[in-house]
Structure 1
Amino acid sequence: MSSLAQKVGLGYELLRQSRFTEALELSREVAGAYPANPHALSFAAEASLANGNAESALEWIDQAIASSGDDPSLKLKKANLLSQLRRRPEVQALAAEITAAAENNGPLLQQVGHLYHRINMQPEAVAQFERAHALVGDSPELLYRMAVARFFSGDFEQAERDLDRLLTIAPQSGPALYLRATLRRQTPEHNHIEDIERRLKAGIGKLEHESSALYALAKELEDLGEYDRSFAALAAGAVKKRSLMKYDVQSEIASLRAIRDAYTSGAMDTPAPGHDEEGAIFIVGMPRTGTTLAERLLVQSGKVAAAGELLDFGNLLAASTQKVIDADPAQSQASASLQIDFAQLGRNYMCNARQAAEGSPWFIDKLPVNYLYCGMIRKALPKARIIHLVRDPLDSCYAVFKTLFFNSYSFSYDLDDLAEYYIAYRQMMRHWHTVMPGAILDVRYEDLVTDTETQARRIYEWCDLPWDPAVLDAPMDHKVFSTASAAQVREPVHSRSVNSSRRYAVHLAPLAAKLAAAGVIDA
């Protein structure tokens, strides 16, 4: 085997087989033999990245770009790499550069739109998707991505038109059916129930798409008050979704237990110089507990920016912890994390998050699962504010169960898994309140939607921010909410969802029994 194409082809096959070390060795050989060939250099970048050396990958891709004469597709690869490195300003600058050079390249514009979507620049994503659509016409992937970006941006009517077009050319697209159902509250006069049922009867095909279609049907039936039919569709969809994943809730619960065991009162009281910078507001809790409403109330003042649901803190924590474990492999993740440089973690996080928040003095990180890291946040960023949204346990579990999260919250597709996870979550939050008293503000969802001003004032006082009556206004049209609640959060505040789980008391009885046995709810 001597040709470049053969060697690069073998290299990518090694990467597909997760034989990363062999791929890296081959990439060095190929790049050495063909030092000015962009294909060889681009493969070297891929191999370096697969082996965890992102900086080396960046050097290789820069060489590939130079050798290619500024190939925009290679620049796009670099932009995606910079995104992984959380160097957001560089991503934005490069995306603009690629856009200017894309001209009439529809597929490239579509990829640029997806890049903007990933870094939560939804209006920019829509603009590039529209340019791509004008060039390449209707394609299911493009229409879906464009509809999602419009959904996050609040353009629900145009998103529905995109999805209707998509469903004429891809009638079995379950994700499109589900997104269309969530764009608005369905009514007896305006819904898609018969359409969804007809598609299901004709056969959806892929199990994942059938699951999504059933979630769509459940959502629309619930909107119309057909609760038994809704739950039947939901349960069927959840079974199909759960069958597609390998997930062990006990393994996840063990990780939570390990954190509690490591972050004792003594560990939290042990001095650790953190990064003494203000500005970060973490909104945490279970999903669908009002976290987006709390974010909206803060953003409405104009003094706080929404940075999105950032993965940065957890990723930076994991990277720092891995360095400790590399030096002492006998340690657990949780115990090793206590030995990291928390001040450096805080500095790195604030640098990345401020980029996402476009430099705003105050910003919100609304990733619910950051509740796992409350102790680490406290050590790394002692001046950060942590707000924990609390909701009625049954309502909280039902709200999670009825939501299709696609690639996250694997515990949400089985009532037994959900009960076990919820109990562990409650234990974790009780632990954080015990070992770091007074460091977390609990806000009850039910109070937030029934006495919004009082709770909003509590939140502003907690964050040491001046009160502004504009906080209570409806969201401005240009605000972006990149969350499954993007439609609901734009509505006037309402209490329709309070006690919503009680409509399904019979169906949720096994889950309620587990929660009662754990002392989470009354028997």
Structure 2
Amino acid sequence: MSGSPVGTQKPPAHSSTLAAATSLLDSRPEAALAQAEAILQRTPGLPAAEFLACQALRKLGQSDAALPRLAALARSQPRVPAVLWELAQAASEAGRSREAIGALENLTRLQPAVAGGWFLLARELRKSGRDEEAWRADLSGVHASSRDPELLKAAVAMNEGRLDESASMLTARLERLPGDPAACRLLGEVNWRRGDMTEALAWVERALELAPGFDLARDFLVRLLLQNNRLPEALDHAEKLTTSPVRSPGHDLLKASVLVRLGQQEQAQQIYEQLLALKPEQPQVWQNLGHVLKTMGRQPDAIHAYRQAVLHQPSMGEAWWSLANLKTVKLGPDDISAMEQALASLEPEREERQEDIFHLHFSLGKALEDARDYAASFHHYDQGNRLRRTLVRHDADDFSAEARATADTFSAAFIAEMGPGGCPAPDPVFIVGLPRSGSTLVEQILASHSQVEGTMELPEMMIIASRLQSRVDEGEFPDFRTMITSLTPADRLRLGEEYIERTRVHRQTGKPRFIDKMPNNWQHVGLIRLILPNARIIDARRHPLSCCFSGWKQHFARGQTFSYDLTDIGRYYRDYVGLMAAYDEAAPEAVHRVLYENMVTDTEHQVRRVLDYLDLPFEQACLEFYNNDRAVRTASSEQVRQPIFTDGMERWKHFAQWLGPLIEALGPLNHAGFAEGHSS
């Protein structure tokens, strides 16, 4: 805290003595106190000596003794920040919040750009039950921190990718100022950018311990918790944000996004509608509302919301794609013209508006496919995929090597060697495969059974698998097999119980079984069987050209990085079939395969076979799955709300002349090979 008592008026004879006494303050406060008192005996009332004596008393734990002297000094030196700071610290330590608050209010008026005074004021206000004032004081402290040169320098280093340099600056600062919330939050972001989520969470949580009114830190924490799928905690913090004295629609939007992830669509809908009632010209909010309404099966309302989004922002590519992606909606000539105009307007801004551009290409591809202009349709699908491919990371060679390593690990001998273990819970039903393989149809059929709850594509198994793989990547184990072999029965039990516990938040009913429809879990079938031996696994499979082409022309919100190149997606399909065939050989009958083509042409027989595999009785509701009004978030959400149809089974044939790279990548799987293994 800058400023000192008017010691500049002291006689020069005391300068060296006072300096010597001050140098003892941290290491020998009792000696500093004795020397300060000696100076005061010779020069009563000398402000600098009186101030030093009070500092020494506080360091010796005698804040009560320091308080009256500091109060007197503050009256004689009312505009010296250091005196007010010391008075506030002493009053706080003595439990005299009212006096501390008074000193800090004077201090922050004198030095509004110094964050420490605001943060200490917030703590004292909070002790006195003045929570809203405390929150505002924290926000003022954050505002002051945003102008701190040292923090700005660390932030610049972080944003320029000099993460180690930024971390070093912040660590050094926190050694001097361990109670600095802004430095804690910034160090949390540095660790997040490094990929160290544990440290990131710890530092951001520390920032909020120090300054509960630090809205930006709480917002960041919610996003970190979402990334870790810690949804109940994320909701708690999001709800806290909405009570901030500085109202922000962004806080409401963040809470709505958490509610969506929790499957509480109706509550998210209410938030979006309230925001739009206050300000209708918000295309992003209209789009978000459309997503929720689509998930709830309210298609006409979803269409209206998406139309409102593009009305307010005609170049909003994601809203156009959301309309096209309803599958049961056909975009007409006027829509095509509007999208072409939007695309033309964006081309000069290609770098800034890439997401809008590739979304518009995908949307035009779908509209022109519906109009049977297949050449133009393919051109737009191709342009959208090429642009999207530049924005994602996928190494087909590395992925194939990982799939082979997994297949080589989970041999019959290895499974026998590992022996029994894991969590015995029979609750989970995993539906795996590729996107656009008919998995949503299988899910909707099973979720119509009285004993099965449909949830969504749950990330928990992938989080567990990623954590295990990181032990190989970080050098703890030389390879995947060694790491898996190291799992003891107790480890497997713990991991299985972790999965059951982490997914509990998604279960809204008392039904004994639940579905996890994350398609990418085909990569982890062996791990699933190790940690959840009684879980059931259904492999939803579709003809390779039909499945891969459907996936290639689908823009996915996240995760499917292999799908934006015809060769990549063909190789991915081959890796999938290869690993599943290896597992079928190692553990026959463990995985039940459902071929989409069989399901749509011989529905009742296929449904009965799946239910037999799950040891569930047949129920007619499974054949009337389209009457189930549960929320469905995937691209097939509208298709599974109507009886089975076969229109889309061979759409790829309209584009066959352009699918050479896919056909070549698939190789022998273009024929009957895709169905190898146990199938129903």
Report the TM-score, using the length of structure 2 for normalisation: 0.69
DSSP-derived class of the 2:207 partner = helix
CA separation of 1:25 and 1:31: change in aligned 2, threshold 3 A: same
Partner of 1:337: 484
Partner of 2:100: none
Q: Does 1:80 align with 2:223?
A: yes
Q: Does 1:233 align with 2:383?
A: no
DSSP-derived class of the 2:648 partner = coil
Match of 1:125 among 264, 268, 272: 268
Partner of 2:467: 319
CA separation of 1:191 and 1:311: change in aligned 2, threshold 3 A: farther
Cα distance in 1 between the residues matched to 2:307 and 2:637: 19
DSSP-derived class of the 2:155 partner = helix
Partner of 1:291: 439
Cα distance in 1 between the residues matched to 2:319 and 2:270: 20
Per the TM alignment, residue 126 of structure 1 is displaced from its structure 2 partner at its CA by 2.4
Per the TM alignment, residue 287 of structure 1 is displaced from its structure 2 partner at its CA by 0.8
Match of 1:441 among 592, 605, 609: 592
Query: Superposed, which structure 2 residues align to 1:492-503 within 5 Å?
Result: 492-503=643-654
Q: 2:324, 2:330 within 8 Å by CA — same for their partners in 1?
A: no
Partner of 1:220: 367
Per the TM alignment, residue 54 of structure 1 is displaced from its structure 2 partner at its CA by 4.9
The letter of the residue matching 1:227 is Y
CA separation of 1:191 and 1:92: change in aligned 2, threshold 3 A: same
Partner of 2:577: 426
The letter of the residue matching 2:591 is I
Per the TM alignment, residue 369 of structure 1 is displaced from its structure 2 partner at its CA by 0.8
Query: Superposed, which structure 2 residues align to 1:42-441 within 5 Å?
Result: 42-47=185-190, 49=192, 54=197, 57-58=200-201, 60-71=203-214, 73-99=216-242, 105-187=248-330, 192-204=335-347, 205-206=349-350, 207-272=354-419, 273-323=421-471, 326=474, 328-329=476-477, 331-340=478-487, 341-358=491-508, 360=510, 361-441=512-592
Q: 1:324, 1:336 within 8 Å by CA — same for their partners in 2?
A: yes
Cα distance in 2 between the residues matched to 1:316 and 1:21: 28
Indicate the larger mover: 254-263 or 129-138.
Answer: 129-138
DSSP-derived class of the 1:185 partner = coil
Residues 282-302 of structure 1, C-alpha deviations (whole Å, 9 max, x = no match): 100011011111111111224
DSSP-derived class of the 2:523 partner = helix
Q: 2:538, 2:594 within 8 Å by CA — same for their partners in 1?
A: yes
Cα distance in 2 between the residues matched to 1:239 and 1:154: 32
Unaligned runs of 5+ in 1: none
Q: 2:331, 2:367 within 8 Å by CA — same for their partners in 1?
A: no
Q: 1:11, 1:23 within 8 Å by CA — same for their partners in 2?
A: yes
Indicate the larger mover: 33-42 or 417-426.
Answer: 33-42
CA separation of 1:27 and 1:454: change in aligned 2, threshold 3 A: farther
Q: 1:83, 1:119 within 8 Å by CA — same for their partners in 2?
A: no
Residues 334-356 of structure 1, C-alpha deviations (whole Å, 9 max, x = no match): 54233233222211111111222
Q: 1:107, 1:136 within 8 Å by CA — same for their partners in 2?
A: no
Q: 1:88, 1:352 within 8 Å by CA — same for their partners in 2?
A: no
State which structure, 1 or 2, has the greater radius of gyration over its C-alpha atoms: 2
Q: 2:545, 2:670 within 8 Å by CA — same for their partners in 1?
A: no
CA separation of 1:324 and 1:174: change in aligned 2, threshold 3 A: closer
Cα distance in 1 between the residues matched to 2:333 and 2:173: 60
Per the TM alignment, residue 109 of structure 1 is displaced from its structure 2 partner at its CA by 0.7
Q: 2:422, 2:533 within 8 Å by CA — same for their partners in 1?
A: yes
Per the TM alignment, residue 319 of structure 1 is displaced from its structure 2 partner at its CA by 1.4
Cα distance in 2 between the residues matched to 1:163 and 1:374: 38
Per the TM alignment, residue 98 of structure 1 is displaced from its structure 2 partner at its CA by 4.0
DSSP-derived class of the 1:505 partner = helix
Cα distance in 1 between the residues matched to 2:329 and 2:274: 31
Unaligned runs of 5+ in 2: 3-113, 115-144, 674-680
Per the TM alignment, residue 426 of structure 1 is displaced from its structure 2 partner at its CA by 1.4
Per the TM alignment, residue 194 of structure 1 is displaced from its structure 2 partner at its CA by 3.0
Per the TM alignment, residue 458 of structure 1 is displaced from its structure 2 partner at its CA by 1.9
Q: Count residues in correspondence.
A: 520
DSSP-derived class of the 1:310 partner = coil
Q: Does 1:469 align with 2:620?
A: yes
DSSP-derived class of the 2:266 partner = helix
Cα distance in 2 between the residues matched to 1:74 and 1:303: 42
Per the TM alignment, residue 431 of structure 1 is displaced from its structure 2 partner at its CA by 1.0
DSSP-derived class of the 2:418 partner = coil
DSSP-derived class of the 1:429 partner = helix
Cα distance in 2 between the residues matched to 1:511 and 1:77: 41
CA separation of 1:113 and 1:8: change in aligned 2, threshold 3 A: farther
Q: 1:210, 1:237 within 8 Å by CA — same for their partners in 2?
A: yes
Cα distance in 2 between the residues matched to 1:54 and 1:511: 38
Residues 407-443 of structure 1, C-alpha deviations (whole Å, 9 max, x = no match): 4322222222222222222111111111111100000
Residues 292-318 of structure 1, C-alpha deviations (whole Å, 9 max, x = no match): 111111112243223321221122122
CA separation of 1:129 and 1:425: change in aligned 2, threshold 3 A: same
